[in-house]
């Protein structure tokens, strides 16, 4: 069954594993006395693929099977003797991977349980796979779920630092550890010092992005190599998504910021003709990063992000989402460039940068491009729930 599930595409998974089937399964468990352990392995596999492939399965939290999971997790956690650790781990992995809305009480139990697994340092392949699975499930706990630092910070720091010294984790496990931590920034800004300066996320992400960018073969044709290539592309996409969250949330700037921006530009240039999903993620990262006042516009210009988006916006194959992200990027840059500095030296520097930005946009015929998209602005606002300006002058830097 696992082999069949592995070969399913997104639509097939959504059509088969739906609310109706989950409710029937719950009924069988309740009426026929079927042991929950008999379906846990399959549900774990579904949850695993859901996370890896970025599949959205809504509604699991509303069905009775989920209530069974929650009850079993609480009961197993409360046991003082004869606690079934394996069952508890399986339940926690299923609960996190299949749910969208998570109970704070259950999340606390799951984080504690899965971090115990992730802390294991044995080097055999089976243990490494268990560690990878635990960290992967932790990585999909949404950024809007608030988790107290004492439940995870000491452990996740130890996991990341140990890998940085001994390289004991798989690539996916290491990325997942970082994703879990970066997502906590949304509700806890006190993590910035740890993430930026103690654990050096930007430096680590830069190295991983550059290694994956070199490894992925976008022209691959041999069927036997496609599986590995797909895994590497999926991992590259996850690092880009996490880097985008970091650039958006982390207000504590250091010199590693600009190098990370350059590595995202490199990933875009490698993928732009063959993998529009990766290209789109890069554009979205830059669009979000402009909202962070500690991401310098000068770095975006110097490291190639501005030129990249100006080139991209000329393409006839540009989709609506990338148009939206590109326009948002330039509109936000224009707003940033209009903010006057308090000190004479910084103000002079801002004016020089404005001039460079204006010249670059003028050179690329940016005004004509915006004019061509003018009729689409209402549609883009409606589609992406954002307030793009209708005044063309708002997309330019006033020099």
Q: Where are the beta strands (DSSP E) in the chain?
A: none
Residue 205: closest CA among 171, 233, 228: 171
User: Are the CB atoms for 313 and 286 separated by under 8 Å?
Assistant: no
- The per-residue pLDDT of the chain, averaged, comes to 87
Q: Is the pLDDT of residue 338 over 90?
A: no
Q: How many CB atoms lie within 10 A of CB 205?
A: 24
Q: How far apart are CA 287 and CA 324, in angstroms?
A: 9
| pLDDT tens digits, 131-187 | 999 999 999 998 989 999 999 999 999 999 999 999 999 999 999 999 999 999 999
pLDDT top residue among 269 and 18:
269
Looking at the predicted structure, is the pLDDT value of residue 2 above 90? Answer: no
Q: What mean pLDDT is predicted for residues 196-206? A: 96
33-48 pLDDT tens trace: 666 777 787 788 888 8
pLDDT classification of 248: cutoffs 50, 70, 90: very high
| CA–CA dist 338, 398 (Å, integer) | 7
pLDDT higher than 50, residue 224: no
CA atoms within 13 A on the CB side of 269: 15
Query: What was the pLDDT predicted at 93?
Result: 93
Rounded Cα–Cα distance for residues 336 and 97 (Å): 39
Residue 387's pLDDT is what? 82
Can you tell me the mean pLDDT for 191-200?
A: 96
Could you give the percent of the chain with pLDDT greater than 90? Answer: 50
Average pLDDT over residues 243-256: 89
CA distance 329 to 267: 18
Q: Please, what's the largest Cα pairwise distance for the chain? A: 78
Give burial (CB, 10 Å; 0-12/13-18/19+) of 71. Answer: exposed
In this structure, the number of other CB atoms found within 10 A of the CB of residue 124 comes to 7
**233: phi then psi, degrees, rounded to nearest 5:** -65, -40
More confident residue, 23 or 239: 239
In this predicted model, what pLDDT tens digit does every residue of 118-141 receive, in sequence order? 999 998 999 999 999 999 999 999
């Amino acid at each position: 069954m696992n082999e069949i599930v592995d070969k399913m595409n997104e639509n097939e998974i959504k059509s088969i594993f739906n609310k109706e089937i989950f409710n029937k399964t719950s009924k069988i468990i309740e009426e026929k006395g079927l042991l929950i352990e008999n379906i846990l392995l399959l549900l774990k596999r579904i949850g695993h693929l859901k996370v890896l492939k970025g599949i959205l399965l809504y509604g699991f939290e509303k069905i009775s099977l989920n209530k069974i999971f929650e009850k079993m997790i609480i009961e197993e956690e409360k046991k003082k003797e004869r606690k079934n650790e394996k069952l508890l781990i399986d339940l926690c992995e299923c609960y996190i991977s299949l749910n969208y809305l998570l109970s704070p009480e259950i999340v606390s139990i799951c984080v504690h349980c899965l971090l115990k697994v992730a802390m294991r340092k044995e080097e055999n392949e089976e243990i490494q796979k268990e560690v990878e699975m635990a960290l992967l499930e932790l990585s999909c706990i949404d950024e809007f779920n608030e988790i107290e630092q004492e439940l995870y910070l000491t452990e996740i720091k130890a996991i990341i630092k140990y890998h940085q010294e001994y390289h004991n984790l798989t690539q996916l496990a290491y990325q997942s550890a970082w994703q879990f931590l970066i997502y906590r920034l949304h509700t806890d800004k006190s993590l910035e010092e740890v993430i930026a300066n103690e654990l050096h996320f930007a430096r680590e992400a830069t190295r991983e992005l550059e290694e994956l960018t070199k490894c992925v073969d976008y022209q691959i044709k041999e069927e036997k190599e496609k599986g590995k290539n797909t895994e590497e592309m999926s991992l590259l996409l996850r690092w880009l998504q996490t880097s985008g969250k970091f650039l958006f949330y982390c207000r504590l700037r250091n010199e590693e910021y600009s190098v990370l921006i350059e590595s995202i530009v490199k990933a875009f240039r490698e993928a732009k003709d063959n993998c529009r999903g990766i290209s789109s993620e890069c554009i979205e990262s830059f669009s979000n990063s402009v909202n962070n006042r500690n991401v310098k516009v000068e770095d975006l210009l110097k490291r190639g992000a501005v030129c990249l988006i100006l080139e991209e916006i000329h393409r006839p194959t540009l989709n609506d989402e990338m148009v939206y992200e590109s326009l948002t990027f330039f509109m936000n840059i224009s707003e940033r460039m209009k903010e006057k500095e308090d000190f004479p030296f910084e103000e002079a520097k801002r004016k020089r940068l404005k001039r460079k930005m204006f010249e670059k946009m003028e050179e690329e015929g940016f005004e004509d491009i915006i004019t061509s998209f003018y009729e689409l602005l209402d549609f883009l606002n409606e589609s992406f729930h954002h307030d793009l300006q209708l005044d063309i002058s708002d997309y330019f830097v006033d020099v």
